[in-house]
């Protein structure tokens, strides 16, 4: 939804793409340094809770928008150790990033969207497309697998739907489990 005909819109699109592509926390996004993004390798080095560093691969769309942002931001002549995402020449704040995400989401009719929604979508989509829990744990930077497992309930629902829709005996099995209704019911 960002207006990519403006520098701010390109920045916002790059931020949204990167948050979803790498499952970043908003605090990780706003503290990300230019030197921590390797566009050529398609990797982001971010610092999570407890200042733990992790390397996360990012896809073509995020790379494309990071390149677009880098081209409009090049005029600033910024140090590679400065924050990547700026607002009026200063580091972006968590609050401003939160507001930007909510504003863009509401423009397309999505409500109750937060920066964590993008992180949650990242994890859920990985699991729905076959990633194992340990890999998702590493990508999210969780120290404990139980933290990652909160995302698996959605995957269980996805698997149930896939099973019900595609397994030839799914409906038969579901009917056999349900108790028969009597005439009194």
Residues involved in catalysis: 25, 49, 116, 119, 142, 151
Nearest partner of 61 among 20, 96, 6, 29, judged by Cα: 20
Helix, strand, coil in percent for the chain, rounding step 5: 60, 10, 30
Distances (CA, A) of 55 to 18, 37, 110: 13, 10, 30
**Could you give the count of Cα atoms lying within 13 Å of 79 in the half-sphere of its Cβ?**
5
Report how far residue 93's alpha carbon sits from residue 69's, in angstroms, rounded to the nearest whole number.
Answer: 18
Let me know: does 18 contact 44? Beta carbons within 8 Å. yes
């Amino acid at each position: 939804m960002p207006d990519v005909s403006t520098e701010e819109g390109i920045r916002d699109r790059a931020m949204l793409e990167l948050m979803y592509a790498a499952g970043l926390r908003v605090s990780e996004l706003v503290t990300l340094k230019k030197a921590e993004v390797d566009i050529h390798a398609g990797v982001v080095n971010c610092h999570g809770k407890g200042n733990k560093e992790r390397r996360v691969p990012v896809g073509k769309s995020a790379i494309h928008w990071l390149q677009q942002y880098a081209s409009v931001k090049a005029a600033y002549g910024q140090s590679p150790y400065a924050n990547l995402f700026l607002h009026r020449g200063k580091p972006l704040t968590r609050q401003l990033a939160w507001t930007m995400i909510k504003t863009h989401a509401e423009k397309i009719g999505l409500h109750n969207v937060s920066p964590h929604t993008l992180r949650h979508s990242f994890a859920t989509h990985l699991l729905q497309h076959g990633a194992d829990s340990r890999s998702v744990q590493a990508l999210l930077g969780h120290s404990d697998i139980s933290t990652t497992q909160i995302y698996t309930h959605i995957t269980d629902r996805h698997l149930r739907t896939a099973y019900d829709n595609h397994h030839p005996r799914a409906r038969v099995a579901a009917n056999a489990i349900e108790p028969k209704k009597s005439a009194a019911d």
